[in-house]
Structure 1
Amino acid sequence: MAGWRYQAVDASGRALTGMVEATSETAARAMVRDLGLLPTQVSAQPRAGTKAPGLSLPGFGGRVSARSLAAATRQLSTMIGSDIRIEEAVRIVGQEHENQPIGPILMEVASSIVEGQSFAAALERHPRVFPEYFRASIAAGEQSGRLSEVLAHLTDFVAAREKAGRKIQLALLYPALLAGVSLLMITLLLVYVVPDIVKVFVSRGAALPLLTRALIGLSGAVQSFGLPLLVFMALLGFGWNRWLAVPANARAFARFRLNTPPFRGFTRQLNAARFAGSLATLVRSDVPLVDALRAAAAVTPNAYVRERALYATQRVREGASLRRALSEAEVFPRMLLAVVASGEQSGRLGPGLERAAADLEQDLEQLVTALVALVEPAVLLVMGGVVLLMVLAILMPIINLNNLAGL
């Protein structure tokens, strides 16, 4: 079925817009009338996940952000907790976000629910928008009759995860901008400033110091081979991405980052925090442990950690305790293993995992802060040192010329 955007008026004459899913324009108009509205215009819209003709710029539309998912989840939790029917709540939230990528998707979900599908089954049609842990939690909430509580847990988790990701991005933004601007300035100096200064030195016939000759050579290399070098780097990046597209290569590189300094500490902390947070949300939502482990593994960023978490899932399915299974995976910190062992003994695995996830996230934030505090001065020192060498390479011949003139 296709998506149809409608413009309609209600009984009070208020103008409304929205999306419905139907096989034809006639069926779409009938669905709008069933909502108690009078359709004034109905037009076909591309389905979510398909591309309309024209340009599609990366990062500008078409991709549901974590912030949009968190906002939609919070609104659904509020309305379903207020005893509003699921399909009506999803439709209202979809209309609220109609100008964002998630809006049409929620309208499709609402149409699927009206057709008789469960909420979880409707979400299954959009796996790239709703992660596996999200869909598994919704399914468990529907089965247990605690959907509003599950949505409340999901709201907190999605919002916390989005906030943590945004903090990391913002923390690394300044060093990246600083390095990029510094490289651009150095390149411009080498291409446009150094050649003019070289002409002055050559015309005077002065003997040039080693540092100046090295700078002239570097400037010539940038002018002669700069564009081919950029093309080579682009091809190298493309080849690297194709190499990583092979699952075995991706796992090997993920294992390298997990076990090799300086990536080891950050990679282990990040993956442990994501895994523990997802597993805590699923366990608190009464998802069966094996299903919860599989869903939590699916959203773990590192491919090797994901593989070992799936191994732990298989061990739990075979009858092993969760603590033993995670210990055999050999990728999770001892603190998490101790919390899991305590939670299994006390029967409070969910709250224990939540506390462990909070501690891991706090440690991760402190680690990111420390890394940024080291990266910023390192970038300043490196770039400042390069600029200083360039200035010295230019000034040394000028000083020598002045000395010769004085003699």
Structure 2
Amino acid sequence: MVKFKYRARDKEGRLHTGVVDAERQEAAADQLRGMGYLPVLIEEQADSPSRGVDVLSLFKRVKPQDLILFSRQLSTLISSGVPFIKSMTIIEKQMNSSPYFQQIIGDIRRDVESGTAFSVALEKHPKIFSRLYAGMIRAAETAGILDSILNRLALLAEHEMETRSRIKAAVRYPLIVIGALCAAFAFLVSFVIPRFASLYAQSKTALPLPTRILIGINHVVQNYWFLIIPGIAFTAWILMWYLRTPGGRWRWDGIKLKLPVFGPLFQKTALSRFARVFSAMQKSGLSMLLTLDIVAETVENVVLARGVEE
């Protein structure tokens, strides 16, 4: 599909501009006439020269708070009787805190103006709007309850954000303790052991095994650090690559569920998310099979997702 910029007039002679997706220029003109517009100008939209090399766009994210605000405001405006396009325009102008999200909202508004369904426009931005979000919006469009579903999505996002903050608070202390132990061990090996290694060497007495191990670690770190650092980086890269593979993700998610302290926490969090999302989607009118298919992706654990799919 190609994007075409257009200028067209409606039956009352008012000028409209926007972008439509079509295979060719004639199809774009037919699409505009089907919308009740008389095309004045249709031309292919030129891609931005920096679009293909915009590395910074890979790191741009939309905060959960901004997505919640977007859902709340759109729900309020629609329930108040404000037309959809005007509601999107108002929210776009007010989203000054996130220029990136403001641009995305503008793209969605233009897609809807060109005749694209709201849910389809959302699916073009999967990094921001999940399959759950787009699926519930699609059901809302069919049932005519868009304001209610948007409000429900905001509640889901708020609950999800609260759950994540509780998980972070629960694991913060163990992570601090582990980090302190690692820092103390590194300090011991780097600064304390070297001071006593020479004394131990002069005494010429048999040292305990733990002491000999620490001295050996210090020797390796002092003399082969230029190999250790690249080795750690390479191992971390290999591990991250493996965890992105289906087999690696399966094994890692299985290990997470069996961890002594964190395993039950991960499991309860996933099951809570499953129940909450399943209830919301069923109330939205989606079919059971589609609900289970989407909910399986929201538990964020492939082992539990396989159980849902079965």
Shorter-chain TM band: 0.7 to 0.9
Asked if the contact 1:77–1:155 (Cα under 8 Å) also holds between the matched residues in 2, the reply is: no
How far the C-alpha of 1:122 sits from its partner, in A, is 1.0
Identify if the C-alpha distance between structure 1 residues 269 and 62 changes in structure 2 by more than 3 Å, giving closer, same or farther: same
The residue that corresponds to 2:101 in the other structure is: 102
The residue that corresponds to 2:54 in the other structure is: 52
Asked if the contact 1:98–1:104 (Cα under 8 Å) also holds between the matched residues in 2, the reply is: no
The residue that corresponds to 2:157 in the other structure is: 158
Identify if the C-alpha distance between structure 1 residues 200 and 250 changes in structure 2 by more than 3 Å, giving closer, same or farther: closer
Q: Could you report, residue by residue, the CA deviation over 1:368-399 in whole angstroms, capped at 9, with x for unpaired residues?
A: xxxxxxxxxxxxxxxxxxxxxxxxxxxxxxxx
Which residue identity lines up with residue 84 of structure 1 in the other structure?
V
How far the C-alpha of 1:277 sits from its partner, in A, is 1.2
The residue that corresponds to 2:291 in the other structure is: 292
Q: Could you report, residue by residue, the CA deviation over 1:335-355 in whole angstroms, capped at 9, with x for unpaired residues?
A: xxxxxxxxxxxxxxxxxxxxx
Asked if the contact 2:18–2:113 (Cα under 8 Å) also holds between the matched residues in 1, the reply is: no
Q: Distance in 1 between matches of 2:113 and 2:52?
A: 23
Asked if the contact 1:109–1:123 (Cα under 8 Å) also holds between the matched residues in 2, the reply is: yes
Identify if the C-alpha distance between structure 1 residues 166 and 114 changes in structure 2 by more than 3 Å, giving closer, same or farther: same
Q: Distance in 2 between matches of 1:141 and 1:127?
A: 18
Q: Distance in 2 between matches of 1:246 and 1:123?
A: 27
Identify if the C-alpha distance between structure 1 residues 277 and 107 changes in structure 2 by more than 3 Å, giving closer, same or farther: same
The residue that corresponds to 1:71 in the other structure is: 69
The residue that corresponds to 1:223 in the other structure is: 222
For the aligned residue pairs, the C-alpha RMSD in angstroms reads: 3.2
TM-score (norm 1): 0.57
How far the C-alpha of 1:188 sits from its partner, in A, is 3.1
Identify if the C-alpha distance between structure 1 residues 279 and 111 changes in structure 2 by more than 3 Å, giving closer, same or farther: same
Residue 90 of structure 1: which of 80, 88, 91 is its match?
88
The residue that corresponds to 1:341 in the other structure is: none
Which runs of structure 2 are paired with 1:38-49 in the superposition (5 Å)?
A: none
Identify if the C-alpha distance between structure 1 residues 102 and 170 changes in structure 2 by more than 3 Å, giving closer, same or farther: farther
Asked if the contact 2:18–2:114 (Cα under 8 Å) also holds between the matched residues in 1, the reply is: no
Unaligned stretches of 5+ residues in structure 2: 6-16, 21-45
Identify if the C-alpha distance between structure 1 residues 279 and 115 changes in structure 2 by more than 3 Å, giving closer, same or farther: same
Number of aligned residue pairs: give it.
268
How many percent identity over aligned positions? 22
How far the C-alpha of 1:208 sits from its partner, in A, is 7.0
Query: 1 or 2 for the larger relative contact order (CA 8 Å, sep ≥6)?
Result: 1
The residue that corresponds to 1:355 in the other structure is: none
Q: Distance in 2 between matches of 1:280 and 1:52?
A: 40
Return 96-105 or 70-79, whichever deviates more: 96-105
Which residue identity lines up with residue 65 of structure 2 in the other structure?
R
Q: Could you report, residue by residue, the CA deviation over 1:75-109 in whole angstroms, capped at 9, with x for unpaired residues?
A: 22222222222222223223322442322111111
Asked if the contact 2:96–2:102 (Cα under 8 Å) also holds between the matched residues in 1, the reply is: yes
Asked if the contact 2:72–2:151 (Cα under 8 Å) also holds between the matched residues in 1, the reply is: yes
Q: Distance in 2 between matches of 1:264 and 1:288?
A: 32
Unaligned stretches of 5+ residues in structure 1: 4-19, 24-43, 312-407
The residue that corresponds to 2:79 in the other structure is: 81
The residue that corresponds to 1:272 in the other structure is: 271
